[in-house]
């Protein structure tokens, strides 16, 4: 049987030193190749923390996060960064665009990091699908929040990652653009067998997924 793309075992994360708050409590989750899972929950329930841990951007207090069989916590930071750039696509609410780079250069960054610049044609393809082709030579400071979100989505998808992690990917978008983004997620994840873990409050976004889980009291459940 094929190894899960993402395997999370007994994950624990606490914040604070005096009377620490247990945000994630022995959380376990497994995603197979091509599976799409939505995580829903109230604000402050730990959804974004879960994504940061799944990306290797934070370290758990206990438990393991494995991607394609690799334990992220066991990797030295430089290797973990390279691994993330190769296997993971990230869409977070704060966009994380580089202000000194144009839209085109921001989207190109994962290709450059993976020595895959022969695939630069994907930039225009994604830009057309996301309606940002006229913005490719602009700097991020000239973009609206919704436009920045679409650039971040293009950057996350351009290297066709095995695992796509998305935190409210339609949160800054109008209804029409959000529908287009969800359709793009649906097509790309199916076409390229991308595994998707998405945090959302949007029922339409959750309906895209094969499973919808709810995060409460630090644990996941399907109801």
Give the pLDDT confidence score for residue 198 in this predicted structure: 96
Model confidence pLDDT, tens digit, residues 150-197? 999 999 999 999 999 999 988 888 888 888 888 888 888 888 899 999
Closest to 36 in 3D by CA, of 194, 204, 219, 222: 194
Residue 109 predicted with pLDDT over 90: yes
Q: Does residue 40 register a pLDDT over 90?
A: yes
Section 33-55 average pLDDT: 94
| Residue whose token pair is 């990797």 | 75
pLDDT for res 176: 87
Give the DSSP per-residue string, 62-95: EEEEEETTEEGGGS-HHHHHHHHHHHEEEE-TT-
Q: How high is the pLDDT of residue 1?
A: 60
Q: What is the pLDDT of residues 119-159, one digit of tens each?
A: 999 999 999 988 999 999 999 999 998 899 899 999 999 99
All domains of the chain in start order, with CATH: 35-43+75-221 (3.40.50.300)
pLDDT of residue 185: 85
**pTM for the whole structure:** 0.92
Q: What value does the mean pLDDT take over residues 9-30?
A: 91
CA-closest candidate to residue 28, choices 9, 50, 53: 9
Question: Alpha-carbon distance 6 to 196, whole Å?
Answer: 10
């Amino acid at each position: 049987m094929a190894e899960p793309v993402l395997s999370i075992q007994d994950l624990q994360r606490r914040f604070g030193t005096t009377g620490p708050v247990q945000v994630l409590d022995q959380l376990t989750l497994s995603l197979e190749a091509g599976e799409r899972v939505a995580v829903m929950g109230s604000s402050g329930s730990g959804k974004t923390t879960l994504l940061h841990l799944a990306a290797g951007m934070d370290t758990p207090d206990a438990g393991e996060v494995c991607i394609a069989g690799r334990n992220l916590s066991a990797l030295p930071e430089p290797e973990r960064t390279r691994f993330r750039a190769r296997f993971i696509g990230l869409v977070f609410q704060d966009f994380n665009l580089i202000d000194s780079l144009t839209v085109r250069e921001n989207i190109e960054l994962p290709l450059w990091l993976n020595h895959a610049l022969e695939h630069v044609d994907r930039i225009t393809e994604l830009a057309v699908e996301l309606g940002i082709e006229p913005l490719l030579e602009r700097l991020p400071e000239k973009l609206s929040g919704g436009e920045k979100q679409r650039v971040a989505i293009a950057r996350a998808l351009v290297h066709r990652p095995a695992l796509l992690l998305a935190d409210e990917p339609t949160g800054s978008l109008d209804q029409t653009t959000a529908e287009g983004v969800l359709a793009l997620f649906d097509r790309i994840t199916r076409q390229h067998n991308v595994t998707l873990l998405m945090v959302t409050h949007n029922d339409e976004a959750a309906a895209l997924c094969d499973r919808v889980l709810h995060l409460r009291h630090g644990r996941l459940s399907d109801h």
